[in-house]
Structure 1
Amino acid sequence: MKRKLPSLLGSYSRMLLPRRGLGRDERVPYLAMDSRTLKFDLRHLRAYRQHFGLDPALGVPLLYPQVISLPLHLRLLSRSRMPLSVVGLIHLRSHIQRYRMLDENEPLQFDCRILTSRRSELGLEVDVVTEAWYHDMLYWQSITTYLRRGDFLDAEAKADPLPERAQWRTLEAPVHSGVQWRVPKIVGWRYAGLSGDFNPLHLSRLMASHYGFGKPFAHGMWGLARSLTGRRLAENVRLDAHFKAPLPLGSQVKQVYRRLGKKEQWALLPAEGDGQPMLLAQLDEAPDGPLR
């Protein structure tokens, strides 16, 4: 049991090491990090709340454990047994469930491991599980899916099936227009400083172009957190987010909503025209059991 997070500098330096690549029929190894007992950095938590305008009375923000567990993800994915480089990974989906409210003054045990990988038409997907425990009780859990773009399918091979949690089903309910807001041009660097995620896709036009994007775009978790601002969430709640397209820095976006029973869905769309969604998200205030 360790009591501090891995060094981000050490993880970033490991990312620069050459990788052998993934062989035919090979899977990403099932790696796990040692459990970490961590206390929230209250100054950092306050800075996160201030960045998004969150009320401290609402407790630890739903997405905050995901933010502070980034060093665990980076160290896990940059270990020597990983056959692929972490540089250029794309955050594809997030599934987060809170079972109990987190106390910002109590230490939590964080566990992090690779759940599985799958080959798709876009590349290779890797699922990373993160869990926060307190006295042997699961308080918070996430499954994060990263995408390594590339050709990982043989000529006649079919893509691996997606798990149930990754299937998006639009609620059969009317669409309601919501707020519009702007993605600040400087938010790539600002959120990188807050989260420790210095992925060059969010910071550099040159690097974004190198990986097939026209210009840098906002972190997926920033866009998701921004779209959640102002909501009062239930204690036991599940959030599913599908990052469908880049959220360009400096762009204007609009949110549209659907609600049916205890579920609410929303999409982030370009403010003008009928463009494709950049984010699809769903909140469920009566989720069925733990994440799988």
Structure 2
Amino acid sequence: MATPENGTAGEPGTRELRSVPGTASLYARALLSRRGDGPLPARRLVLRDVAADPDRLRRYAAVCGFADASRLPVTYPHIVAFPLAMALMTERDFPLPLLGLVHIANRVERLRPVGAGERLTYRVRADRLRPHPKGTAFDVVAEAGDGDGTVWRSVSTYLHRGSGAEDPRPRASTGPASAGGGPPSRPADGPADGPALDERWEVPGSVGRRYAAVSGDRNPIHLHPLTARLFGFPRAIAHGMWSKARCLAALEDRLPGACRVDVSFRAPVLLPARVRFTAVQAGPGWEFGLRQDGGTREHLRGEVSPLD
């Protein structure tokens, strides 16, 4: 299943990139940039004809726990789109600073399985700047298409901490990929109407550096305890999208070919860690969670739903 792709490079506000932006230079730009008030830029970045690098795909599957090498893991296109999102968020007219943003939710929609060798066009934009009880939130919307239509999309919701306030600016809709619905309120280890999974994982202290190396997300909070402390964390923390990918790897052979996966990130995984993954079958989908093993600290909660 595919849906028509949105936009072309000839449309106003669309900028086509010739190559993948380097995230190291973008982080350097983020350290030096200053931000002010203003709307999100009406800009879409486009990167065409991208195939997964086999070695990068292998390393991604290894660090996240995926076994099937014949098609892209459901979360893999996120790491291809991530440098485009960074390029967008480090432009001079972007109103919020990149460093210090908190990734609070992510929705991925896979409209059909994507082969490991397929060449895709990626489009990334920012949307829905709005007030949040803890500050200001916005979405980064990413889409990947095969020329006939969109085959994958995601919405990543970020929070800039500050005083929450009403925002008079209109809120543009992100369409069916909006992250507004969020995961269910029932914990993943609650009552179920189908089979359940219950696993305990040892998460090594190196996982932040390993995921950073393959994803390009080298935010200092993930790399070393010393750099994490600069941002208020006692130790380095795992990437939220690693945690989501690791959960979906545990469900890999149970995921529908066309599916939607919603996750809300609750509390960071301080590295190293021992965590407990639970999942229950709920109707045609799954509800899952990740929490501190032997404790009450909840790291994430998610839901898998089939797409008709």
Flag whether TM exceeds 0.5 (same fold).
yes
Give the superposition deviation at 1:28.
2.8
Matched with 2:228 is: 208
Q: What is aligned with 2:283?
A: 261
Separation in 1 of the partners of 2:22 and 2:69?
Answer: 31
Match of 1:65 among 72, 77, 86: 77
CA shift for structure 1 position 5: 1.1
Distance 1:71 1:163 in 2: 21
Query: Any unmatched runs of 5+ in structure 1?
Result: none
Number of the residue aligned with 2:182: 166
- Which TM-score applies when normalising by structure 2? 0.82
> What's the counterpart of residue 85 of structure 1?
97
Indicate whether 1:188 and 2:208 are aligned: yes
Q: Which amino acid in the other structure matches residue 28 of structure 1?
A: L
CA distance in 2, matches of 1:164, 1:190: 31
Q: Please tell me the residue identity of whatever aligns with 1:187.
A: V
Q: 1:199 aligns to what?
A: 219
Paired residue for 1:95, among 107, 110, 117? 107
> How big is the alpha-carbon RMSD for the aligned residues of Structure 1 and Structure 2?
2.5
Give distance in 1, aligned partners of 2:202 and 2:138.
31
In the alignment of these two chains, the number of paired residues is 279
Of residues 35-44 and 86-95 in structure 1, the stretch that sits farther from structure 2 once superposed is 35-44
Q: 1:121 aligns with which of 133, 137, 146?
A: 133
Secondary structure of the corresponding residue to residue 278 of structure 1:
strand
Determine the structure 2 residue equivalent to 1:10. Answer: 25
* Contact 1:126/1:147 (8 A) holds in 2: yes
The 5 A counterparts of 1:270-289 are 270-273=292-295, 275-285=296-306, 287=307
How far apart, CA to CA, are the structure 1 residues paired with 2:183 and 2:282?
18
Q: 1:271 to 1:222 in 2, by over 3 A?
A: same
Task: Give the SS at the match of 2:165.
Answer: coil
TM-score in terms of structure 1 length: 0.86
Secondary structure class of the residue paired with 1:218: coil
The AA in structure 2 aligned to 1:281 is G
Give the gaps of 5 or more residues in structure 2: 1-15, 172-177
Q: CA deviation at 1:35?
A: 4.0
Distance in 2 (CA, whole Å) between partners of 1:211 and 1:57 is: 36
* Residues in 1 aligned to 2:22 and 2:64: alpha-carbon distance in whole angstroms: 26
Cα distance in 2, alignment partners of residues 20 and 220 from structure 1: 25
Q: Deviations over 1:209-249 (max 9, x none)?
A: 34333322100111111122242122101111111001111
Whether contact under 8 Å (1:255, 1:266) holds in the other structure is yes
**Structure 2: distance between partners of 1:184 and 1:247:** 11
1:235 equivalenced with 2:257 (yes/no):
yes
- Closer/same/farther in 2, CA of residues 202 and 15 from structure 1, 3 Å limit: same
